[in-house]
Structure 1
């Protein structure tokens, strides 16, 4: 039996493709095994300190809420270190983190460790902890609430476009870029903002033990370095995660040899994390800036 050269080449190509797909299958299987191993290891290790990451723009997150509740229930978690590196986010996101972390702190020690930035809703998050640690160069503070809009009415007039807005009452859908902001609408919007600002201010007064007049002075939207924040009483200590651990050992009598494990979302898998890092990063950096996707009242700092 004879074989043509083309037939032999096709067989070689098929074998190569088969090896490639076999390799991909093996890598995929290894990934699943590693993810499952990490998950079961997380469930099986003994007493430890959990590290919870709060990074990027803060928004309402049900999975994160469930994770914090799980940390509160887990008797093997002896304390939680909250690593914060965020300019803030939505008021609701910060409020949810604050309340959930306060519930967690009622059961076990919680320490916040700030990174490069921990401002606005991120500072609100830190307020929920028993002890706040920051670097000297950390940017924090920016205590306040805002709502932004743009008036493009004149621009549209110049290009010959006349917007038509039909609504049930004068204050519906205000502020609106398509029409001038009336004094009444501005007053109502300002009242909404100040209501949430008072909530934020009350958190600062309660958690930092400040007099209301001093708290108002500090809560005018300004930012602070970690050094400045320590001086005025917005944080407790200058340092890093080791500083937080030392405080837990000295003040909360935790064992010195407790290991620290990152707390991941309960159902987060290897593949979900990989996809999030690859595709989420792509969209965040190239298509839609994260800040533009925020809805509602925001508590965020950006230069």
Structure 2
């Protein structure tokens, strides 16, 4: 074997060794960052699998409510966590889609059937947010929180007059007059409006029945609270939409008095297990390290082509259980 051949073999052997140590360095760095992440995010969080010292779990429902299967699975996981002796759900939501609110209510009801569950309304639990709140055993709200907005909405833009002004006309061929109606490109026909009204009425009846059954309301009081208006937390207590004015401490006191939960138990946050792809700083740190050791292509293949992605455009289609002053004007 010639000297050049020996040198080539040695270089390849050294390159393989170098690649091995580079990969090992990246893996060690990833494990280290994940460990730090767990330490930072895990402060006050329920242990993996819900196994650990007895505690009260805290979860949060914030913003617009849409269908979220991951959240359903997380709530199911929480219902089986032996460490969680009770659950406090903080809600600050104007609602969202009716279907998403129903899904969340159902998941929270399953949770409440296995563990004492108290709802704390932080800023608002309006419309779909209130649908979620009714899943709990007890509702606590701050005096100036907003609750209610019990009703269903179906909105769609109609640009028929604008198209007429521009001299644009939409042509279509459809199987029946009510297919894809209303479409926003032509005046809504009485038949289409009646079909949508029936849809809204059916969902509203479902919402109203839930209020009647979950809050024990009937007659004039039920009619008053289900006319679509919103109420403060104080008004909510008077109208039986809310059980008490207070905060998380009030919820803990109720759990102790009514459910025998030790009020000295630590309160731990329960969150979805963070995924590697959800940790932007982990993306950045790992990618930077990989680039530094010459493994940029490997990092991009493992972590994705980019570390910063644009948010999906929020789209709420169909029936809405949503409250917002601008939408009400």
Alignment of 1:76-155 (within 5 A): 76-155=83-162
* TM-score (norm: length of structure 2): 0.77
* TM-score (norm: length of structure 1): 0.83
CA contact (8 A) 1:151 1:178 kept: yes
Q: Which one of the candidate residues 246, 255, 267 is aligned to 1:248?
A: 255
Structure 1 residue 214: deviation in Å?
2.1
Structure 1 residue 25: deviation in Å?
9.2
- Seen in structure 2, the aligned counterparts of structure 1 residues 236 and 279 have a Cα distance that, compared at 3 Å, is farther
Q: For residues 238 and 308 of structure 2, what CA distance do their matches in structure 1 show? A: 42
Query: Would you say 1:54 and 2:61 are equivalent positions?
Result: yes
SS at match of 1:117: strand
SS at match of 1:296: coil
Q: For residues 82 and 212 of structure 1, what CA distance do their matches in structure 2 show? A: 30
What is the RMSD of the two structures over their aligned residues, measured on CA atoms? Answer: 2.4
Task: Tell me the residue number matched to 2:291.
Answer: none
Structure 1 residue 45: deviation in Å?
2.5
Q: For residues 263 and 137 of structure 1, what CA distance do their matches in structure 2 show? A: 26
Alignment of 1:136-215 (within 5 A): 136-215=143-222
Deviation track 1:237-275 (CA, whole Å, cap 9, x = no partner) reads: 10111110111011111012211111111x423651547
Q: For residues 232 and 279 of structure 2, what CA distance do their matches in structure 1 show? A: 33
Task: Tell me the residue number matched to 2:318.
Answer: 296
Q: For residues 40 and 239 of structure 1, what CA distance do their matches in structure 2 show? A: 24
Choose 103-112 or 121-130, whichever is displaced more. 103-112
CA contact (8 A) 2:46 2:269 kept: no
CA contact (8 A) 2:158 2:185 kept: yes
Q: Which one of the candidate residues 37, 54, 73 is aligned to 1:35?
A: 37
SS at match of 1:95: helix
Q: Which one of the candidate residues 269, 275, 278 is aligned to 2:275?
A: 269
Counting matched residue pairs gives: 272
Larger Rg: 2
- Seen in structure 2, the aligned counterparts of structure 1 residues 222 and 253 have a Cα distance that, compared at 3 Å, is same
CA contact (8 A) 1:35 1:269 kept: no
Structure 1 residue 93: deviation in Å?
1.0
CA contact (8 A) 1:91 1:298 kept: yes
List runs of 5+ in structure 2 lacking aligned partners: 1-24, 282-306
SS at match of 2:87: strand
Deviation track 1:252-302 (CA, whole Å, cap 9, x = no partner) reads: 11012211111111x423651547xx968x748xxx4x4xx1112110000
Q: For residues 201 and 274 of structure 1, what CA distance do their matches in structure 2 show? A: 42
Structure 1 residue 216: deviation in Å?
2.2
CA contact (8 A) 2:221 2:239 kept: no
Q: For residues 161 and 46 of structure 2, what CA distance do their matches in structure 1 show? A: 60
Structure 1 residue 165: deviation in Å?
2.3
